[in-house]
Amino acid sequence: MVAGSFTYTIGQMIMNIREQQGITQEKVCNGICSQKMMSRYELWTCIPDRLSLNLILQRLGKSPDHFITLLTKKEYQYFLWKRKIFVALQEDDDAVRQKRLKELFQAPEAKDRTCHRGLQEQFYQYIQGYICQDVDKMKEAIKITVTDYDDGLGRESFIGSTEISYILLYLQTKGGMGTNIKTELRACLDYIERYTVDESERVKVYPRAVCLYCKYIDENIFEKIEYCRKAISLLTGNGRIQELPELLKMMGDALQKISLKDARRYKMQHWALQEVYKAQGMKSGRKDKLLEEFDQEVLLLNEILKTYREERNLNREEVSEDICDVGSYARIESGARGIRKSNYEKLMQRLDIPYGWYTSMLVTDNYECLMLARQGILASKFGDWEKMEMVLKKQKQLLDFEQIKNQQYLMEVENVLLYRTGQKTCDQFQDTAIKALHLTVPNWNIHESIVHFYSKEEITLLNQIAISYRLQRKSDIGVHIIASVYETLEKSAIDLTERAEEAVMLLATWKNLLTDLEEYDEAIEKADRGIKIALQSERGDKLDTLVYEKGWSNIHKNCHDEQDMRENIKICLAAYFISDLYNRERNKKDIKKFLGHYGVKPEF
């Protein structure tokens, strides 16, 4: 049974990381919880709430994004409320902005403290201070967890990326009111570089810190270029967007005095991103950036219970017997009430649910395995097969392959690597992908719809199976697979941006399949939808192919309209420069060849 096998390893993982770094429990948990509670977390006799776990991992330089969090409906409503606050802050019309914020602060979620009283109160006070531009109130909120903060990081400061983001926005708000802003920003940059080891976490705050710091070093153009270059590389290497528009503009302007060719390259990349945002009716510049809580994927407890009960063909009486009364279970499954952790553990066993309160793609207490897995995913996305092979070799030495999830991971990654390097045929690739999927979804087949809650790994395998049918010139079967999986994501109460990586991946494949079938209108619709989700979730690794498909399909659909042709050539040109930005050489080469047919030669 998969259920629970991962849940009980996170505490040990935290303890291992902390001891390896020679850090005391007291230092890690300062402002979060008592040392006694920290001990319980490490022993996993008490499961931390999501806010606590996130900040503990961040303080150890690690990323909570490797974990999927199971939330109750009430908990999810709180995190949605935080997101709405962030969206309201982006509103340009001051009257509309104030009206929306007032409504949000009157909502029940504003006073909710059920996740973590101290950390929720910190956010509430901090954001109230920011709205009023009260830097003293913002500073006091920061000191709830960074107890020694005094307009600069103290010697004993031990902080996570959420706390760094609070400090950065505080310094931005304080601006000219302080005389040491440049020094404080440099201290933040140095801290991030020294202590935030995991790039999944560093990418959230380092580019923002660079953008702020560079405003204070106009006199040193080479220092500005170096910082911007590092930030851009960090973002593109992790397939993210975030501060790219601002950084690309800074680089283009700075290099104008040094290298016109390099300056033009950055300017064209900036132009391409701006065009994509403009086409979606969205703004590229994010003002008032706060670190959102939703880079980490979340699942709803009530949806998991309902889906697994239906998949097992059990009624509520059978599931709840000897655990809780049927009425209570019905309210839990509807999301009307929460559940005791002990009862959930019993339900996990009864329904064979593979999701604990925190789950990852691997069963391990070795954090290095999770970092390597993320590196492997990125290597696959950008076609770096040499790096992917290196990651796989290390994983084989570290993972316990008696665990089904680890077996599935190994089969999936090795299968892609062997196919992409020409060591497997398409038929062999498809056969292995189906075998890997059957490890956890034994009753799946292309002819029947089944009730199942698809994990991220299972969705990846289904996407690969759909691609294999495309390669066999059976795109209609691929469309059927992708459509049925995507439907399960749409049916969830969880916003698609919370599962953006899977959604964008599926849409990128879907539009290719539809193009094969010459269903151009649908292909354009899927590309547009993928672009929107990619921009909302600030994920850029599939952006070039989605944008290119939109232009390519429109050209094939309206090939006799000269004005339409020009507009869509421009879209394809934007896709070319986005490919260049993210170092996606194969796509870049294909787009360049296509544009050449129309006499367009992309140049820097």
Q: Report the percent of the chain where pLDDT is more than 70.
A: 95
Listed in sequence order, the residues at least 6 apart from 231 whose beta carbon sits closer than 8 Å to its beta carbon are 206, 207, 210, 211, 243, 247
Mean pLDDT of all residues in 490-518: 94
Q: Give Cβ neighbours of residue 508 (< 8 Å, ≥ 6 apart).
A: 530, 542, 545, 546
- Using N-to-C axis directions, what is the helix angle for 562-581 and 543-557, rounded to 10°? 160
Query: Is residue 257 pLDDT above 90, yes or no?
Result: no
Residue 288's pLDDT is 57
> How confident is the model over 312-344, as pLDDT tens digits?
999 999 999 999 999 999 999 999 988 888 898
| E strand or H helix that includes residue 318 | helix 316-320
Range with the poorest average pLDDT among 114-123, 149-158, 384-393 = 149-158
- Other CB atoms within a 10 A radius of the CB of residue 231 amount to 27
On the question of pLDDT at 291 being above 90, the answer is no
**For residue 549, what are the CA distances in angstroms to 207, 380, 539, 553?**
29, 20, 17, 6
Per-residue pLDDT tens over the stretch 353-406:
988 889 898 999 899 999 999 999 999 989 999 999 999 999 999 999 999 999
pLDDT digits (tens, 9 = 90+) for 451-496: 999 999 999 999 999 999 999 999 999 999 999 999 999 999 998 8
Residues 291/431, Cβ–Cβ less than 8 Å: no
Over range 186-214, report the average pLDDT.
Answer: 93
pLDDT of residue 177: 54
Band of pLDDT at residue 289, cut at 50, 70 and 90: low
Q: 71 - beta bridge partners?
A: 300
Collapsed DSSP state (helix, strand, coil) of residue 240: strand
CA angle 100, 106, 109 (to 5 degrees): 100
The arithmetic mean of pLDDT across residues 417-423, rounded, is 96
Among 150-154, 257-261, 573-577, name the one with the lowest average pLDDT. 150-154
Contacts of residues 527-530 at CB distance under 8 Å and 24 or more positions apart, as own/partner, are 527/553, 528/280, 530/503, 530/504
How far apart are the C-alpha atoms of 505 and 489, rounded to whole Å?
Answer: 12
pLDDT tier for residue 295 given thresholds of 50, 70 and 90: low
Q: What is the pLDDT of residue 556?
A: 85
Q: Are 265 and 604 in contact (CB under 8 A)?
A: yes
Instruction: Give the amino acid at 111.
Output: K
3-state secondary structure of 69: strand
In angstroms, the Cα distances linking 47 to 66, 133, 222, 235 are: 17, 37, 48, 32
pLDDT per position as a tens digit, 38-80: 999 999 889 999 999 999 999 999 999 999 999 999 999 999 9
Residue 286's pLDDT band (boundaries 50, 70, 90)? low
pLDDT at 570: 94
Between β-strands 358-359 and 298-300, what pairing exists: parallel, antiparallel or unpaired?
unpaired
Residue 220 pLDDT class (50, 70, 90 cuts):
confident
The pLDDT of residue 5 is 45
CB 259 within 8 A of CB 229: no
Q: What share of the chain is helix, strand, coil (3-state, %, to 5)?
A: 70, 0, 30
Two tokens at 537? 């979730």
* pLDDT at residue 2 in the model: 40
Evaluate whether 552 touches 594 at the Cβ level (below 8 Å): yes
Q: Which are the contacts of 536, defined by CB distance < 8 A and separation ≥ 6?
A: 282, 497, 500
- Cα dist from 242 to 206, 269, 291, 318, 578, whole Å: 11, 14, 11, 48, 14
What is the distance between the alpha carbons of residues 377 and 372, in angstroms, rounded to a whole number? 9
